[in-house]
């Protein structure tokens, strides 16, 4: 069995690298790709670990990169690159803004879009760092008010991931955010991954 899309605590996963490897071993995974968001750091860290004491299978270098393509935010998977080379580019491209400040800015933009489009929200709603993702906060809040349901499909209303993909990433929806200022173009991401190939 193989797993080509996993996340550790280097992004939005819950396991350390060692826990990921141990759990993959227990699950009978023979090939594993760690594909944390916008970082190659897990693979740099792997070089400091005796991986064979945790996992007997093959580890593929990978990453999942936020990108912008055709006016839509996407997540692009890339594999088999030199992690040190790609991390240099990642540091210049993705790590230019404090993560929390970026999330606060995204939250403020989404809240303004709600107000502009008469989507009811809690008065004085504020960004909550413990929830991290702005779409999670906005989604949890707007779904408290049944009068908001009329502009959403059932999936957008009932599933937060559906809300994120279909609403904030959809240029034809009132809560669309222009991610082109926040993330690189997908063609540039692809080019940099190929450039960092082993």
Give the pLDDT confidence score for residue 174 in this predicted structure. Answer: 94
The count of domains in the chain is 2
Same domain (yes/no): 17, 80: yes
35 φ/ψ angles, rounded to the nearest 5 degrees = -125, 60
Torsion, CA 130, CA 64, CA 141, CA 124, rounded to 10:
60
* pLDDT over threshold 70, residue 97: no
Q: Predicted confidence band at 5 (pLDDT cuts at 50, 70, 90)?
A: very high
pLDDT tens by residue, 18-29: 999 999 999 999
The answer on 90 and 6 residing in a single domain is yes
- Distance in angstroms (rounded) separating the CA atoms of residues 59 and 30: 9
d(CA 164, CA 135): 6
Do 85 and 15 sit in the same domain of this protein? Answer: yes
Residue 6 sits in the same domain as residue 88: yes
Local confidence band at 33 (pLDDT 50, 70, 90 cut-offs): very high
- Between 96 and 74, the more confident residue is 74
Verify that 162 and 131 share a domain, yes or no: yes
Task: Give the span between the Cα atoms of 41 and 27, in whole angstroms.
Answer: 24
Same domain for 117 and 188?
A: no
Domain that holds residue 166: 99-179
CATH classification at residue 44? 3.20.20.140
SS3 119: coil
Confidence of residue 98 (pLDDT cuts 50, 70, 90): confident
DSSP string of 96-160? TS-HHHHHHHHHHHHHHHHHHTT----TT----GGG--HHHHHHHHHTT-GGGGGGS-HHHHH-H
């Amino acid at each position: 069995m193989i797993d080509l899309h996993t996340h550790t605590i280097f992004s939005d996963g819950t396991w350390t690298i060692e826990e990921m490897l141990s759990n993959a071993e227990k699950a009978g995974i023979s090939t594993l790709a760690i594909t944390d968001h916008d970082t190659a750091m897990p693979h740099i860290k792997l070089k400091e670990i005796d991986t064979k004491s945790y996992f007997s299978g093959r580890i593929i270098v990978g990453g999942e990169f936020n990108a912008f393509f055709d006016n839509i935010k996407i997540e692009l998977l890339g594999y088999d690159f030199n992690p040190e080379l790609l991390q240099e580019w990642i540091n210049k491209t993705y790590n230019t803004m404090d993560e929390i400040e970026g999330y606060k800015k995204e939250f403020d933009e989404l809240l303004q879009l709600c107000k502009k489009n008469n989507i009811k929200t809690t008065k004085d709603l504020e960004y909550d760092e413990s929830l991290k993702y702005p779409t999670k906060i906005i989604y949890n809040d707007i779904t408290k008010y049944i009068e908001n349901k009329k502009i959403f499909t059932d999936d957008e209303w009932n599933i937060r991931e559906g809300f994120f993909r279909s609403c904030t990433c959809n240029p034809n929806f009132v809560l669309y955010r222009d991610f082109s200022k926040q993330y690189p173009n997908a063609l540039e991401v692809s080019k940099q991954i190929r450039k960092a190939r082993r």
